[in-house]
Amino acid sequence: MDRIVHTPVLLEEVISFLLPYQDETVVDATVGEGGHSEAILSRVKPSLLVAVDRDMEILQKARERLSGFPSVKFIYGNFSELSRLLKKEGIDEVSAVLMDLGISSFHLETPERGFSFLSEGPLDMRLDRVGEKFTAYEVVNSFSEKRLCELIREFGEERWAKRIARAIVQRRKEAKIKSTKELAEVVASAIPKRYWPKRLHPATRTFQAIRIAVNYELDSLKSGLKSAFEVLKPGGRIVVISFHSLEDRIVKHTFRSFEKKGLGRVLTKKPVLPSDQELKSNPRARSAKMRVFEKDEG
């Protein structure tokens, strides 16, 4: 078994919100490498844990990690269709759904997946390499300058989107942009050095934007929250960990809309953030925010 490098974020906080569901069915809708699931199985002890992921490779890693637990069902698929995926397996109702929207260490530290600007890799960025054909290469090399600008500005919240889009189009006129390192260099060159972010690589927001576009992440999240609510039993909870403002905004507004319709209540009036102790041991947790919604008992 390969080395497991992923550290689950806000783990103690997740466990505290799921503890009431001992001996019930809990879904980890983005199981990844199985860090949260392993702790849930050990400490919450659900009667069944359903582990879902849209990435077949990482689902296999979770299968290996959780092989010592008998009460786990693995499902390959996108949580945007959670209700359908579960019903197909004969599961009509669940007590809790966890969604960790972060990119796994496995993705970032596997160069051939093309997620990281820190190592040389192809422009891929697909979470689902089995079911999806559309890659970051197509975005970078075929989108118009206007479309690239809009994408980088909207999904990356990048103030230099116009300059970055122009630089990408100019570079690809010479030759197609094929690698993560090449793209990162183009992006960095488009931003005046004195305006480079202090704690982030200058290509961070652009890579985020392209990844979101390739994987339809925001649309998947909107559908996934509604789908999770559909399959949630009365008194059940949805726990979501997001990592940037676009995701957090969707979760916040969706949960508020559920509450306004009298469908339940938001248990986290403000998002739960990592403790100082967690941030010291896992700096990648710095942008994590957790929100929790509980379905009405009625």
The parent domain of residue 225 ranges over: 11-106+217-295
**Domain match, 242 and 99 both:** yes
- In this structure, the chain runs to a length of 298
In contact, 145 and 136? CB cutoff 8 Å: no
**Domain match, 121 and 211 both:** yes
State how many domains the chain has: 2
Cα separation, 53 vs 60, whole angstroms? 10
Give the pLDDT confidence score for residue 48 in this predicted structure: 98
- Computed over every residue of the chain, the mean pLDDT equals 96
Give the pLDDT confidence score for residue 5 in this predicted structure: 52
**Is 21 inside any structural domain?**
yes
**Domain match, 197 and 257 both:** no
**Domain match, 94 and 237 both:** yes
Question: What's the predicted TM-score (pTM) here?
Answer: 0.95
Cα separation, 207 vs 139, whole angstroms? 11
With 0-12 / 13-18 / 19 or more C-beta atoms within 10 angstroms meaning exposed / middle / buried, residue 280 is: exposed
**Domain match, 224 and 87 both:** yes
**Is 3 inside any structural domain?**
no
**Is 175 inside any structural domain?**
yes
Confidence of residue 298 (pLDDT cuts 50, 70, 90): confident
Of 104, 143, 101, 116, nearest to 207 (Cα)?
116
Cα separation, 149 vs 166, whole angstroms? 8
Task: Find the mean pLDDT for residues 141-147.
Answer: 98
Give the pLDDT confidence score for residue 6 in this predicted structure: 66
**Is 4 inside any structural domain?**
no
> In this predicted model, what pLDDT tens digit does every residue of 78-132 receive, in sequence order?
999 999 999 999 999 999 999 999 988 899 999 999 999 999 999 999 999 999 9
Last residue of a domain, one of 169, 198, 215: 215
**Is 5 inside any structural domain?**
no
Last residue of a domain, one of 170, 194, 215: 215
**Domain match, 253 and 282 both:** yes
Give the pLDDT confidence score for residue 2 in this predicted structure: 45
**Is 120 inside any structural domain?**
yes
